[in-house]
Chains A and B, each alone.
Chain A
C-alpha cells in the first residue's frame, strides 16, 4: 500500500505538474484560484508545499533574486516520482469511485 494525498495537496501537485519548471508558490496559487475559482489561503499553500517536500513528493530549488521581489530569491518546485505515484493513486481512486455517478449527481443538483 503506497501513500496517498488529500484533496488540496492533489490540487497543488497538479498545478506543479502543469507549470513544469515555472511552479512557484505564486504561480501555483494563481493556477488553482483561476481554475477552481476558490480562494487559497497563503498559509495553507506554504504549509502544504512544505509538507509535500518533507514527504519527498516535490523538490524545490532556489531561483534568481529580482527587484520586484525586493531582492529576494524565489523557490521553484518540481514533482518527484514518489509525488507522481501518490497523485496518480489518489486521483485514480477518486475517479474509480466517481465513475458512472456524475450524471446522477447532476440530476440531484438540478
Chain B
C-alpha cells in the first residue's frame, strides 16, 4: 500500500498559500515525508508530522510573515504587551455586549462541562493505566474450548484447572512471572458482626507478578502455594484492617475465622488494592483449597495473570501460548470416553479485559455525542461571532485604515474567542464536578458495578470518580480547540473588510459585500451565506444525535417490554450460603424447610421459596443432558441445559406458570422417584410435537439424576441469562431430592424492602446466629441492574440530543431574525410596491425550511453512515430503522418551523412607512 500525506493537510496548504508557492512547498513536504519521516517513524507519526508542518506553514504564511523564527527578548516583550492590550480590548468589547457574552459563555459552559464530565468517566474506565507496575506487560492467559452454544466453529475462553495450570507452568516460555487467582467469598466471624466477605484465592507469585508489596507483614511463600495442611494463613485488605482491627499493626499473627476455619493473618495489603476481581478484601493461598479441588483435571476455576518476559511482545506471547494447547491435552489427558473437545490457549493484554466491551462502546458513543453537542454549540457561536463581526465591520475598516495589520485584527478576534472559551471552560469544569458529584449521589456504588462478563476488574462506584488532573488537562485543551473552532472563521471574515466600501457605505447595520442593495428573492440571504452553511451543518448534526437517542430510547422501551417469564414486582431475594463444616445434606434440607415456614409467618409475606439462581443475572449452572430412552449421542452433541434447584413453592412465588403436568410437591423428597421440570424451550427442543410429561431425562448433576428422572411438568421460559438474551433450555430439580448448601431465598411480600428486611434477618439469625445474609435485593432492582447500562446511555443521549435540538433551533432563529432585521427596508419597499403580507411570511418560512431541509438530508446520510456504531448497544431495533429516521426528521422540520415562525411574523408585520422613514 502506498502511503500518501493527509489530503486534508494538502488542501489546507492550497487554501493558505498562493498557487505558485503551494506546488513547491507541498512538494518539499511530500519529499521529506516519503524519503525521511515515513521510513523512520511509520505512517501514523509521519501523517502527524505532515499535519504539523502544514499547519506551521499555513499559519506563518497567513499571519506572521513579519515574525522571526527565534524570538528575541525585546520582541517577546513587545508581543506580550500587545497580547495584554488585546485582552483588555476583548474584555471591554465583550462587556459592551452582555447578552451575546452571556449566551456564548452559557453555551460553552454547558458544552465543555458535558465533555469534561464524560471524559472523566472515559478516562477513569478506559484510559488511565491500570494501577500496577508496568501494566502493559500484564496479560490474562485463558484456555480455549469450543463454544457449542455459539456455533460449531466458535471458541470460548475458559479458565484453568490446577493440573492444566501446572502444565502451563512447566512448559511456558513467554512470561517472566505468573500466578493463578480466583474470586471467592467467605463468612467472616469472630471479629464483630458476621459478614460475607469477598476475597481471592491466589498463587504465591500473584502480588509479585502485579508488582504489589504488602503494606505490613509478608506475602505468601512458595510453600503455601501448594502444600495442603500446615498453618492456614491469610492476608487482609487495608479497608477491612482499618474497620475491624482499627489499623492495629499487632494484627499480624492473630487469627480470623473464615467459614468457621481459623486463619493466621500474615500480612496487610496496601490501601485501595482490591485484587484483579476488583472487590477482594481478603486473600488466601492456594493451599487453603481442598486437595481434591487441586487434583481435579477438568474442574476449571483459576484465572492466570502473567507478566511478559523481556523482549516478548503481546502478539509473540499469544502465539507462544497457543502452542501449549496440544501439550495440555497430551499431558493432562481428556475425560475418558466422552469425546471432549480439544483445548487451545490464548493470552490477551490485561488492559483489554478490564471493562465490559459494551460499557466501553457506550462510553465512547457518549463521548462522541457530547463532542457533537459542543460542535453544534461552536457552530452557533461562530454564527453569532460572524454577525457580530459584520456589525463591527466599520470599526474594523477604520482600524485597518489607520494602520492595523490584518494579522493583528485576526489575533485580537481570536483573543476574544479564547477569553470566552476560557471563562466557559472554568464554568464548565464546575458543571462537570457538580454533575459527577450528583451522579455519585443518585447512583450509589451498589447500582454501578462495572463488571465484565467473564472477569470483574473494575468495580467502580460513581462516587469514586471525580474531577482530576486529567479532567483539567482535557478541559484546557477543549477550551483552546473550541476557541479556534468558533473563532477562526469569524476572525478571518472580520479582517477581510474592504476599507473603502465599508467606510463609504456608512450604515451601521449593513454587511460588506451583501449591502449592495435589494435583489430578487433568490439573493435574499446574500451576505450571510457562510452562516447559512453553518446552520445547515448544525441541523445535520442535531439530527444525528436525535436519531442516536431515538434508537437508544426504543431499545430501553423494548427492554422494558420484554417478557421475562416471572413477576418481578414485589419480589425480594437474598443469598445464603451454609458452611460445609457444620451442615450436611440432611441438616441443610431441614434448615431451608424450617426457614421457609418461619418466613411465611412474617406479616406481609405472601409466599416464600428457595431457588439457586436469580433471573437476568447470568450466573446459573449448566450441564449436559441425555435421554435414556434414546441411543446415546457423542458428548459434543448432547443438549445443554441450565439447572435450577427449586423448592416446591418457587413457581408460585416467582409468578411462573406451569404449562403442562404439575409442579414439585412436598412429597418429591429423597427416596421417592427422581422428578424434573423443564421449560418450554427445552420441551420444544427435546420433544417436538410430543407430550414431554412422563418422558425420562438424565442430568449430569449427580444425586441420582444422572441415572434418569421423570419429567413431571413444563414451565414457562424465564430469562435467566440477561434481559436481552432469549431463554435457553432450563431444567428444574427439586431441592428436597438434591440438597444444596447455598442458594437464593425468594420472598413475595406486600411490604417494601426496608420494611421486610429486618424481619427476614431476624428469622435467619434465629436459626443460625453466625449465618450472614448477602445480596439482599428486590427483584426489581436486579432487573434494573441488568439494564442500567442501556438506560443510562439512553437517558444521557436523550439529554444531549435535547441540547443539540435546542441549540440548532436557537441557531436557526438567530439567523432568520437577523436576516429579517437587515432586510426591514427591503421588506418595506416590497410591501409599499404591493407585495402581499402572506407572501413575505412565506418567503421567510420557506428560506428557513430550505435550510432545515438541507440539514436534514445531510443528517439522514450521516445517520445512516454512523448509526452502525451503535449496533451492539441496541436491542430489537436496527441502526437504520426507517421509522425512527422519518419521525425524527419530521420532528426536526417542525421545530425549525417553530423557530422561524417569530421572525417570519415580524417580517410580515413590517410597517412600510416606518421602515422607509428610519433610513
Per-residue interface assignment for chain A, residues 57 to 84, with 1 indicating a CB less than 8 Å from any chain B CB and 0 otherwise: 0000010011011101111000000000
Q: Considering the chains assembled together, what is the distance between the CA atoms of A73 and B4 in angstroms?
A: 17
Question: Given B27, B34, B69, which contacts A48 in the complex, CB threshold below 8 Å?
Answer: B69
Given the complex, which residues of A lie within 8 Å of B31, measured CB to CB? 26, 66, 68-69, 74
Question: Given B26, B28, B64, which contacts A47 in the complex, CB threshold below 8 Å?
Answer: B64
Q: Does B23 contact A (CB under 8 A)?
A: yes
Given the complex, which residues of B lie within 8 Å of A47, measured CB to CB? 60-61, 64-65, 67
Q: Does A6 contact B (CB under 8 A)?
A: yes
Q: Considering the chains assembled together, what is the distance between the CA atoms of A51 and B60 in angstroms?
A: 12
Q: Considering the chains assembled together, what is the distance between the CA atoms of A47 and B17 in angstroms?
A: 11
Nearest to B62 among chain A residues (CB) is A43
**In contact, A6 and B68 (Cβ under 8 angstroms):** yes
Q: With A41-B56, A46-B21, A50-B21 in contact, is A68–B64 under 8 Å at CB? A: no
Q: Does B521 contact A (CB under 8 A)?
A: no
Q: Does A44 contact B (CB under 8 A)?
A: yes
Q: Does A13 contact B (CB under 8 A)?
A: no
Given the complex, which residues of A lie within 8 Å of B53, measured CB to CB? 42
Q: Does A40 contact B (CB under 8 A)?
A: yes
Q: With A42-B53, A68-B35 in contact, is A26–B28 under 8 Å at CB? A: yes
**In contact, A46 and B25 (Cβ under 8 angstroms):** yes
Given the complex, which residues of A lie within 8 Å of B58, measured CB to CB? 43
Q: Considering the chains assembled together, what is the distance between the CA atoms of A50 and B65 in angstroms?
A: 9
**In contact, A40 and B69 (Cβ under 8 angstroms):** yes
Q: Considering the chains assembled together, what is the distance between the CA atoms of A56 and B5 in angstroms?
A: 33
Q: With A43-B57, A46-B61 in contact, is A68–B24 under 8 Å at CB? A: no
Q: Does A45 contact B (CB under 8 A)?
A: yes
Q: Considering the chains assembled together, what is the distance between the CA atoms of A18 and B543 in angstroms?
A: 60
Q: Considering the chains assembled together, what is the distance between the CA atoms of A56 and B423 in angstroms?
A: 47
Which positions 27-50 of chain B face chain A at CB distance < 8 Å? 27-32, 34-35
Give, as a whole number of angstroms, the nearest-CB distance from B72 to chain A: 8
Per-residue interface assignment for chain B, residues 58 to 99, with 1 indicating a CB less than 8 Å from any chain A CB and 0 otherwise: 111100110111100000000000000000000000000000
Give, as a whole number of angstroms, the nearest-CB distance from A10 to chain B: 11
Total of A-B residue pairs, C-beta within 8 Å: 78
Question: Given A7, A41, A51, A69, which contacts B27 in the complex, CB threshold below 8 Å?
Answer: A69
Q: With A43-B57, A44-B60 in contact, is A73–B65 under 8 Å at CB? A: no
Nearest to A27 among chain B residues (CB) is B28
**In contact, A7 and B70 (Cβ under 8 angstroms):** yes
Given the complex, which residues of A lie within 8 Å of B34, measured CB to CB? 68
**In contact, A46 and B68 (Cβ under 8 angstroms):** no
Q: Considering the chains assembled together, what is the distance between the CA atoms of A26 and B5 in angstroms?
A: 16
Given the complex, which residues of A lie within 8 Å of B24, measured CB to CB? 25, 62, 72-75
Q: Considering the chains assembled together, what is the distance between the CA atoms of A100 and B25 in angstroms?
A: 42
**In contact, A8 and B68 (Cβ under 8 angstroms):** yes
**In contact, B23 and A8 (Cβ under 8 angstroms):** no
**In contact, A74 and B28 (Cβ under 8 angstroms):** yes
Given the complex, which residues of A lie within 8 Å of B27, measured CB to CB? 65, 69-70, 72-74
Per-residue interface assignment for chain B, residues 1 to 17, with 1 indicating a CB less than 8 Å from any chain A CB and 0 otherwise: 00011000000000000
**In contact, B23 and A45 (Cβ under 8 angstroms):** no
Given the complex, which residues of B lie within 8 Å of A44, measured CB to CB? 56, 60, 67-69
Give, as a whole number of angstroms, the nearest-CB distance from B88 to chain A: 28
Q: With A44-B60, A46-B57, A50-B21 in contact, is A24–B28 under 8 Å at CB? A: yes
Q: Considering the chains assembled together, what is the distance between the CA atoms of A26 and B64 in angstroms?
A: 21
Q: Considering the chains assembled together, what is the distance between the CA atoms of A32 and B399 in angstroms?
A: 39
Given the complex, which residues of A lie within 8 Å of B4, measured CB to CB? 70
Q: Considering the chains assembled together, what is the distance between the CA atoms of A62 and B58 in angstroms?
A: 21
**In contact, A43 and B60 (Cβ under 8 angstroms):** yes
Give, as a whole number of angstroms, the nearest-CB distance from A106 to chain B: 22
Give, as a whole number of angstroms, the nearest-CB distance from B179 to chain A: 47
Per-residue interface assignment for chain A, residues 86 to 103, with 1 indicating a CB less than 8 Å from any chain B CB and 0 otherwise: 000000000000000000
**In contact, A43 and B70 (Cβ under 8 angstroms):** no
Nearest to A70 among chain B residues (CB) is B30
Given the complex, which residues of A lie within 8 Å of B30, measured CB to CB? 68-70, 72
Q: Considering the chains assembled together, what is the distance between the CA atoms of A81 and B58 in angstroms?
A: 30
Nearest to A66 among chain B residues (CB) is B31
Q: Considering the chains assembled together, what is the distance between the CA atoms of A14 and B56 in angstroms?
A: 23
Given the complex, which residues of A lie within 8 Å of B60, measured CB to CB? 41-44, 46-47
Nearest to A60 among chain B residues (CB) is B24
Give, as a whole number of angstroms, the nearest-CB distance from B801 to chain A: 41
Give, as a whole number of angstroms, the nearest-CB distance from A69 to chain B: 4
Which positions 411-434 of chain B face chain A at CB distance < 8 Å? none
**In contact, B21 and A72 (Cβ under 8 angstroms):** no
Given the complex, which residues of B lie within 8 Å of A70, measured CB to CB? 4-5, 26-27, 30
Q: Considering the chains assembled together, what is the distance between the CA atoms of A74 and B5 in angstroms?
A: 17
Q: Considering the chains assembled together, what is the distance between the CA atoms of A76 and B53 in angstroms?
A: 20
**In contact, A43 and B56 (Cβ under 8 angstroms):** yes
Q: Considering the chains assembled together, what is the distance between the CA atoms of A47 and B61 in angstroms?
A: 6
**In contact, A26 and B32 (Cβ under 8 angstroms):** yes
Given the complex, which residues of A lie within 8 Å of B5, measured CB to CB? 70
Q: Considering the chains assembled together, what is the distance between the CA atoms of A53 and B253 in angstroms?
A: 84
* Most A CB within 10 A of own CB, among B4, B26, B30: B30
Q: Considering the chains assembled together, what is the distance between the CA atoms of A66 and B64 in angstroms?
A: 31
Give, as a whole number of angstroms, the nearest-CB distance from B58 to chain A: 8
**In contact, B25 and A25 (Cβ under 8 angstroms):** yes
Q: With A41-B60, A43-B59, A70-B4 in contact, is A25–B69 under 8 Å at CB? A: no
**In contact, A25 and B28 (Cβ under 8 angstroms):** yes
Nearest to A67 among chain B residues (CB) is B34
Which positions 290-319 of chain B face chain A at CB distance < 8 Å? none
Which positions 1-49 of chain A face chain B at CB distance < 8 Å? 6-8, 24-26, 40-48
Given the complex, which residues of B lie within 8 Å of A43, measured CB to CB? 56-61, 64
Q: With A72-B24, A74-B27 in contact, is A42–B65 under 8 Å at CB? A: no
Question: Given A26, A51, A69, which contacts B65 in the complex, CB threshold below 8 Å?
Answer: A51
Give, as a whole number of angstroms, the nearest-CB distance from B21 to chain A: 7
Give, as a whole number of angstroms, the nearest-CB distance from B39 to chain A: 12
Give, as a whole number of angstroms, the nearest-CB distance from A88 to chain B: 21
Q: Considering the chains assembled together, what is the distance between the CA atoms of A72 and B24 in angstroms?
A: 6
Give, as a whole number of angstroms, the nearest-CB distance from A85 to chain B: 21
Per-residue interface assignment for chain B, residues 656 to 699, with 1 indicating a CB less than 8 Å from any chain A CB and 0 otherwise: 00000000000000000000000000000000000000000000
Given the complex, which residues of B lie within 8 Å of A73, measured CB to CB? 23-24, 27
Given the complex, which residues of B lie within 8 Å of A72, measured CB to CB? 23-24, 26-27, 30
Nearest to B52 among chain A residues (CB) is A42
Given the complex, which residues of A lie within 8 Å of B21, measured CB to CB? 46, 50
Give, as a whole number of angstroms, the nearest-CB distance from A28 to chain B: 10
**In contact, A42 and B29 (Cβ under 8 angstroms):** yes
Give, as a whole number of angstroms, the nearest-CB distance from A42 to chain B: 4
Q: Considering the chains assembled together, what is the distance between the CA atoms of A72 and B29 in angstroms?
A: 10
Given the complex, which residues of B lie within 8 Å of A8, measured CB to CB? 68-70
Q: Considering the chains assembled together, what is the distance between the CA atoms of A45 and B59 in angstroms?
A: 12
Give, as a whole number of angstroms, the nearest-CB distance from A8 to chain B: 4
Given the complex, which residues of A lie within 8 Å of B68, measured CB to CB? 6, 8, 44
Nearest to A65 among chain B residues (CB) is B27
Nearest to A71 among chain B residues (CB) is B27
Given the complex, which residues of A lie within 8 Å of B28, measured CB to CB? 24-26, 69, 74-75
Given the complex, which residues of B lie within 8 Å of A6, measured CB to CB? 68
Q: Which 8 A-B pairs have the closest CB atoms?
A: A43-B60, A72-B27, A44-B69, A43-B56, A75-B24, A69-B27, A42-B53, A70-B30
Q: List 8 A-B contacts (CB under 8 A).
A: A25-B25, A42-B29, A42-B60, A44-B56, A46-B25, A47-B64, A74-B31, A75-B24
**Known A41-B60, A43-B60; further 7 A-B contacts with Cβ < 8 A:** A26-B28, A40-B69, A44-B60, A69-B30, A70-B5, A74-B24, A74-B28
- CB within 8 Å of B: which residues of A? 6-8, 24-26, 40-48, 50-51, 62, 65-66, 68-70, 72-75
- CB within 8 Å of A: which residues of B? 4-5, 21, 23-32, 34-35, 53, 56-61, 64-65, 67-70
